Structure 1
């Protein structure tokens, strides 16, 4: 039965050609009636302008620019998705525009009712009239919210691209550091061999110990420098770039004038209690930071330092006794 349905789906109902004889055949649907036909029939029937749907008893007038590829196998799902997109372009108010959550939920219920009516063809004319009246009365607010949604989508895409680039650079740096470490190990072997070749009889052990110690010190210095450079160039630079680009987009002259609500006054928190250092003695965190898995995952030990210091200092300036007296007075009154 499934095979029969599949074969029928691959035959154009208009010209009766199938994909077996024409493998490059593509099927299109129109959002007016969602009847399917091949791309050749669409070009043949609608290239000269609007024309009736060739399906019997349809009666819809179709236009070529309204045809599209079918994304879902179920036409009912395809139609509901299109209806939701169309309604969302009109009813696009945001949570911040409502005084209470109850009002916002009532608005969402009204939107879902309109979608249900259009999908199930219940009171279609009244629902379409409601959409047109709402769009005419709220044209400016709809355009404002659409602009905000576009900017939010652009910022989200920007952050995704920056995060992907940061992870790519971290992987490249981890690979480069691994190759550099292998080269340093080979350099250690060469130094040991050289020291052994120049050592006197009975001093071989001391020569090897001296060469290994010097090589290990060189390795540690280079690894520390590489970690500091990688942290400065990857984490800090990409975070600064992301914040800078997003703030630049949001600070355009028309970005704040068309907000549908009053924004809060900007307040900048100034930390005058402590300063985060570049590095602290912590073997546990050092081992994690130096592992290849942590580097590939984007782990940053500085974020841990900042969080720990914030939690350690967050209680300063808060006097418990005063808070008790204030809370007790608020309860008694």
Structure 2
């Protein structure tokens, strides 16, 4: 098995994370990820109330006795959800791992830490990761430009972002964005990460709750079939190409305020895509890693395949390169 600081700190078998995804991080998927030996996250705000979240946590526990966590995404809003109540539901349910995202989690950390909860904070830049370390998170998940959802405004891809973060941080780093197979896992470890986070790849599994039409579209798509919206609003999001995202980009190109496109990007419309399979009902998130996704396996098969193939790459092809180089050096000295 691939053992890293991350697997040791969080008590999982494999350095693979299924991060929180709105409308996707539900009990069936998270339990399957946990049972595979990886770390899965329920998405708190997918549930309509803190009480519903507590029930979803209990439902997940009926399917697995292995570690899993809850994602709590904290964003500024005119009518914010009751974050403190969701946080308390997490604590009262005995969850031991939380993934935070969005705003700085500093106001939530004392409560989570007092409850013995380890916190992974999702960041899109080295400067934000350093700040997260300073306020006391246990690990960071660092999102490269390739990721689905919000990649930040710096446009730094993982090949640069991961080692740049590893150079500056002492806490474990989870590499996120553009990773869908064993090659990405091995590359991330080589760049200094202690594990990888996958969203798009886990969306496209048997246990994922999204509609089959969405899964099949991810398989059909290439790495070029995403688009960036909200660029002009400085709130960039990467979503799948479809009629709605094209309309949003067209409106933005002429200059707009958020109110001009709000009706197109409403969360309820994206939820309809995932639940009903109407691919043009709204915008829906997918990363450039969709170009690497070519099947819809059970979660356990996916994780096992990734780990075995990663081990084969490390002990086989890469090791043979080192051996060949050593042999050449010996020959040269002789």
TM-score range, shorter chain: under 0.3
More helix by share: 1
TM-score (norm 1): 0.17
Which structure exhibits the higher relative contact order, with contacts defined as CA atoms closer than 8 Å and separated by 6 or more residues?
2
TM-score (norm 2): 0.17
Structure with greater Cα Rg: 1
More strand by share: 2
